[in-house]
């Protein structure tokens, strides 16, 4: 695989894996909209298909782009107009970016989150369904008017005295509702969060505005069962395939840096084996960590000096502490990082680790305003050694050359792409085919075989038509 082809694949896969990226969710949403619209067309014809298409596109556009765009407006207002420093709000033993915010900024941030929930619930759950149903009702009235018009025209055509008759045209105007949403930073950067944040209100609103018991059930079943396919099944499929084939789920950008690192170092098999069975100084057990498993750099340096470690280990500890920003002005290390400081593993180089972790977190790991959990960073760290072990196993005792590493890299990229698209395809299948079919089937079993017109015109309590 040439570098001309390789780089776009790495960048593409990296983009798809980015939790803030719209593209993978957009692909699933496009399949979902197409599948649900088609299933609606099969049951209710053009009228139901149009209503479903409007519903899906409107809601998808709002939570994919609306929340994100409005959140940027909120950030602009907070940072540029009110001069507030806004950060992520996550916190663990190694990172707490929110301490940079003033109390006023925290209140502003909280206000954005509350605003996002209220506006999302009101707009997607209560306003959009009413507008959508009103458009359908208007179309039904227009169709019935046409039927009456045709019947009357047949009567006139069959009569001896034909007179010109002027018909009344019913015209209506569509309501456009614009709302400003200030979402939290997390809702801006994670598509799954934006979806989940709107789900509760959306489901409640759609059920409240449903026109028929069958429709209320369909909304409940469809929207609740869709949550797992939107947010979990792609990752679950990828994890299952990696476990089945005993492979490492490694980030494409991390893969690129690891292979480059191995080629630059001209590593031997013996050096790679240090990642499998690293020699870790037993003095690790004598280091006094905090209850949360961390230690300040200043304290670690004192303890290492008292144990007569050389300048190279002290410098390694300083560089290792730079894997995350300062925590309230102090450099902090986790126990796993101290373990790397005292390890002879070739992959324990802090400069190398910082490059990999930053690439796999899209630069967030070193950004003092962003939050990336220590667990996420450690998972990336562990994936490095796991991938190295795959290389050793694939070599099967043979010399590890640049060509061999290139081959492993190519195969890993192909497999990563295949697993990623398998996960997306499964999610799309569930949303576009499985759920819509089950929704209609269960609805018919519970409430009888209603036509879409029965549902669209039925009273929620007794099924009486709303049309006069």
| pLDDT single digits (tens) 67-104 | 667 777 788 888 888 888 888 877 889 998 988 988 88
pLDDT at 465 over 60: no
Gap between the Cα atoms of 374 and 378, Å rounded: 6
Residue 82 gets which letter from DSSP? S
The whole-number pLDDT of residue 209 equals: 84
In this prediction, residue 126 carries a pLDDT of 82
Say what the pLDDT of residue 211 is.
Answer: 84
Position 190 scores a pLDDT of 53
- Yes or no: say if 187 and 67 are a contact pair by the CB < 8 Å rule: yes
For 115-129, the pLDDT digits (tens) are 776 776 777 778 888
Q: What pTM did the predictor assign? A: 0.79
Cα–Cα dist 60/58, whole Å: 6
Residue 465: DSSP 8-state: B
**What would the pLDDT profile of 17-62 be if each residue is shown by its tens digit?**
887 777 888 888 889 999 999 999 998 899 999 999 998 888 888 7
Distance from C-alpha of 84 to C-alpha of 105, rounded to nearest angstrom: 5
Q: What is the tens place of the pLDDT at every residue in 348-372? A: 999 999 999 999 999 999 999 999 9
pLDDT value for 282 = 80
How far apart, in Å, are the Cα atoms of 48 and each of 4, 31, 86, 446, 455? Answer: 47, 18, 45, 20, 10
What is the torsion angle, in degrees rounded to the nearest 10, for the CA atoms of residue 83, residue 87, residue 91 and residue 96? -70
For residues 181 and 66, the answer to whether their CB atoms sit within 8 Å is yes
End-to-end CA distance of the chain: 68
Mean pLDDT of the chain: 83
Average pLDDT over residues 329-349: 94
More confident position, 393 or 159: 393
3-class SS at 43?
helix
Alpha-carbon distance 271 to 260, whole Å?
16
**Residues 456 and 136 sit within 8 Å (Cβ to Cβ):** yes
- Match 């480059």 to its residue by tokens: 260
Can you read off the two tokens belonging to residue 29? 């949403």
Q: What is the DSSP letter of 98?
A: G
Q: Name the β-bridge partners of 458.
A: 465
Cβ neighbours for 41, distance < 8 A, ≥ 6 positions apart: 48, 49
Considering only CA atoms, give the Rg of the chain.
30
Alpha-carbon span 61 to 73, nearest angstrom: 17
268 pLDDT higher than 50: yes
Burial class (CB in 10 A: 0-12, 13-18, 19+), 41: middle
H/E segment holding residue 178: none
pLDDT at 462: 46
* Structure tokens that stand for 290 in this block: 């905090």
Structure tokens at 96: 């707490």
- The DSSP-derived string for 308-371 is T--HHHHHHHHHHGGGS--BTTB-EEEHHHHHHHTB--GGG-HHHHHHHHHHHTTTGGG-TTS-
DSSP-assigned beta bridge partners for residue 327: 330
Domain ranges of the chain: 21-90+99-238
Task: Name which of 228, 221, 223, 218 is nearest 203 in CA terms.
Answer: 223
């Amino acid at each position: 695989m040439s570098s001309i082809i390789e780089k776009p694949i790495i960048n593409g896969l990296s983009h798809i894996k980015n939790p803030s990226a719209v593209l993978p969710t957009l692909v699933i949403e496009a399949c979902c909209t197409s599948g649900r619209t088609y299933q609606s067309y099969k049951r209710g014809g053009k009228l139901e298909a149009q209503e479903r298409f409007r519903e899906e596109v409107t809601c998808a556009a709002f939570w994919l782009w609306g929340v994100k765009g409005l959140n940027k407006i909120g950030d602009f207002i907070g940072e540029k107009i009110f001069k507030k420093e806004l950060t992520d709000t996550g916190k663990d033993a190694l990172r707490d970016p929110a301490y940079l915010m003033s109390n006023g900024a925290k209140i502003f941030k909280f206000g954005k989150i509350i605003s996002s929930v209220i506006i999302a619930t009101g707009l997607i759950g209560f306003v959009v369904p009413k507008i959508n149903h009103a458009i359908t009702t208007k179309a039904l009235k227009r169709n019935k008017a046409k039927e009456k018009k045709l019947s009357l025209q047949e009567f006139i055509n069959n009569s001896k005295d034909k007179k010109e008759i002027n018909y009344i045209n019913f015209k209506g105007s569509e309501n456009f509702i614009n709302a400003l949403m200030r979402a939290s930073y997390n809702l801006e950067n994670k598509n799954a969060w934006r979806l989940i944040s709107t789900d509760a209100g959306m489901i409640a609103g759609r059920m409240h505005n449903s026109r028929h018991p069958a429709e209320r059930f369909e909304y409940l079943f469809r929207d609740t069962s869709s949550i797992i396919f939107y947010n979990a099944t792609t990752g679950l499929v990828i994890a299952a395939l990696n476990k089945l084939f005993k492979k490492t789920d490694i980030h494409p950008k991390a893969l690129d840096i690891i292979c480059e690192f191995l080629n630059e170092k001209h590593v031997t098999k013996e050096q790679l084996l240090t990642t499998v069975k690293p020699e870790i100084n037993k003095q690790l057990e004598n280091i006094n960590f905090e209850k949360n498993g961390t230690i300040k750099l200043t304290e670690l340096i004192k303890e290492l000096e008292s144990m007569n470690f050389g300048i190279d280990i002290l410098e390694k500890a300083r560089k290792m502490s730079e894997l995350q920003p300062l925590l309230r002005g102090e450099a902090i290390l986790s126990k796993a990082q101290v373990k790397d400081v005292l390890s002879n593993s070739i992959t324990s180089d802090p400069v190398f680790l910082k490059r990999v972790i930053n690439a796999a977190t899209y630069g967030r790991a070193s950004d003092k305003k962003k939050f990336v959990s220590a667990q996420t960073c450690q998972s990336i760290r562990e994936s490095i050694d796991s991938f190295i072990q795959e290389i050793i196993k694939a070599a099967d005792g043979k010399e590890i050359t640049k060509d061999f590493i290139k081959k492993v890299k190519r195969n890993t990229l192909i497999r990563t792409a295949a697993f990623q698209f398998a996960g997306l395809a499964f999610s799309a299948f569930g949303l576009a085919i499985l759920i819509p079919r089950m929704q209609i089937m269960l609805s018919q079993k519970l409430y009888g075989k209603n036509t879409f017109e029965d549902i669209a015109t039925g009273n929620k309590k007794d099924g009486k038509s709303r049309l006069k």
